[in-house]
A and B are shown apart, each in its own frame.
Chain A
Amino acid sequence: MWIESTLALRFLRQGRAQTLLILIGIAVGVAVIVFVVALIAGLQDNVIDRTLGTQAHIRVEAPEELNRIAPAPPGTLQLVLEDRRAQTLRPINNWQQVRDVLDGLPGISAVSPIVSGPAFGRRGDAVESVALIGMDLPRYLQVIPLQENMVDGRLQVGSGNAVIGRQLARDLGLRTGGKLRLDAGDGRAAIVNVAGIFELGVRELDARYVYLDLKQAQSLLDLPGGITVIDVTVDELFAADRMAARIAGLTGLRAESWMQTNAQLMNALSSQSISTNMISFFVAISVAFGIASVLAVSVSQRTREIGILRAIGTRRRQMLRVFLVQGAVLGLLGSTIGALAGWSLVAVFNNLGPGLFEVGMPPALIPSAMALATVAGVIAAAVPASRAARMDPVEAIRHG
């Protein structure tokens, strides 16, 4: 391979202007790929982060209540007019066992049982409808990082303490240390102390959520000892739907992944990924065509030299490699420059851009962009290289 690489590098160095131009072309292409992919990945991470900041990856609930229709005796025509059943607030059976099973399942990083249901929040004459969430605080924080969203007071539940959303606090004129009356109907009511105020950034949640400890919420919602939902966090975000199916199969409960809950978002994300891949693909194609055309010109210009090299004993496969190596070197060198440029673009975007979110650099992106360009270079070089290898030395020397 020594002589092949030597010839390849000398040829590239001699055709300086051509080499430089195509290197710039490859670099621009690779920079575009790196920047666009990093940008879209950053954007998607950001959107997912924001979405999952207030949602569990998987929500496990009791199965829906269904009507049981008595089968008709054989030979009878049965007409059924069925209304769906009203879904009452029902606890998950044997939730402690379910929790322990989920705790032991590989791929699951956090399990948080909660009890949730509707109530009214009152202060004086003002009434707001609220959602009571009773939870086991240490477990809940592993799913939703509520501590990062506190704007006032302490994150404390139990002993008559509650944490409420900022919008609810505003609507009811509450401050930390204020008293909130919760009325869950059927005479079940309690007065709680507002220990802290949070802001998740989603208006609906900030206006409705009231966090309590499990016991208090259970007694308000008349579900002593019961829980209604188990929130689950998984290690691999995009394996959530598979994991949800597995949980449903294991427990017989209803398990919905964030991907199902946010089907539209998933659709948008995957369309975005497709368009990123399309951009990368077509940029790679045009880079490959650029390399192919430069090498085709080089083969034509060097016809006579190729003939001479063949005459003095250069094998066909050596001749082939000389041009394949040129393709690889152009791809590798161009993509190195391009990767650096793409990286700088990302840095510029992070420092001087709109600053809406931080664009990270996926660790595999630069190596894979460089590998892509190098492979594209070799493939692109195949046609001119095989033309060089097939050249008849007599013809090449005479007409070169």
Chain B
Amino acid sequence: MAEPREVMRLEGLRKSYNIGQANEVEVLHGIDLRLDSSDFAALVGPSGSGKSTLLNQIGLLDTPTDGELYLLGQATSDMDDEARTALRGQHLGFVFQFHHLISAFSALENVLMPVMVNQGRPDREAIDRARALLADVGLEKFADSKPTELSGGQQQRVAIARALVTRPALLLADEPTGNLDTKTAADVFALFRRFHQAYGCAVLLVTHDPRLADTCDRTISLIDGCIEP
């Protein structure tokens, strides 16, 4: 694998809700964190510790109250929504607990969706890449199936293929195996591992399954909005 490089860095990241109101609450208390392309990390912590909030900050889905987030060396706190959306579409891949496929589109089209919203009509090369990814997750036969015709595990695998179609630098997954049975969960987890090795993208998984966390190379534990050393 190539020399590891920095993918994402947080400096003193804070996030508060209900700012200026009586019930103002700070969820993240100054987080410093760095992820390299070689990282296959689990983000663990009890419920309410701010795992999802942190993941949303890293995923540029939400804006921090204070601090800075560097994605591939670029400071993001001054960017407008347009620029953040573009960066998110290009360099980040998301897998959520519930598959969240777009139900009006086939499996293949769902995999291509990030390409289509970022570049418009997909070219031959993108379609081939999407087909290859579907084959990698073992669903080449289901390319034209609608999400409703697929099982939960199959849908989650389509979602993983979708997250990888743009060759992101960082793959973010929020409880990706949370609603799957043990066997399917292990399969999905193995996929993450495989893609991490094949594409060299950093992976950050939120989970509260300790067995799953143990199989990751690195464990980041978040307790009460602070990272445990």
Contact = CB atoms under 8 A, between A and B. Distances in A.
Physical interaction between A and B: yes
Contacts of A316: 81-82, 85
A394 B62 contact: yes
Interface string A285-321: 0000000000000000000110111111111101000
A281 B162 CA distance: 47
A308 B113 CA distance: 10
A2 B121 contact: yes
Interface residues of B, number: 28
B104 A11 contact: yes
Contacts of B59: 311
A397 B100 contact: yes
Interface stretch (B86-94, B176-184, B195-203): B86-94
Interface residues of A, number: 25
Interface in B82-117: 82, 85-86, 88-90, 94, 96, 100-105, 113-114, 116-117
A10 interface: yes
A246 interface: no
Contacts of B85: 310, 313-316
Contact of A305 (B82, B89, B102): B102
B114 A313 contact: yes
Interface in A300-353: 304-305, 307-316, 318
A14 B146 CA distance: 11
A311 B94 contact: yes
Given A2-B120, A308-B101, A309-B117, 19 more contacts: A3-B116, A10-B105, A14-B103, A14-B104, A305-B103, A308-B100, A309-B113, A310-B85, A311-B61, A311-B94, A312-B117, A313-B86, A313-B88, A313-B90, A313-B114, A316-B85, A393-B61, A394-B61, A394-B62
23 contacts: A3-B116, A3-B120, A3-B121, A14-B104, A304-B100, A305-B102, A305-B103, A307-B100, A308-B100, A308-B102, A310-B85, A311-B88, A312-B113, A312-B114, A312-B117, A312-B162, A313-B86, A314-B89, A314-B117, A315-B85, A316-B85, A397-B96, A397-B100
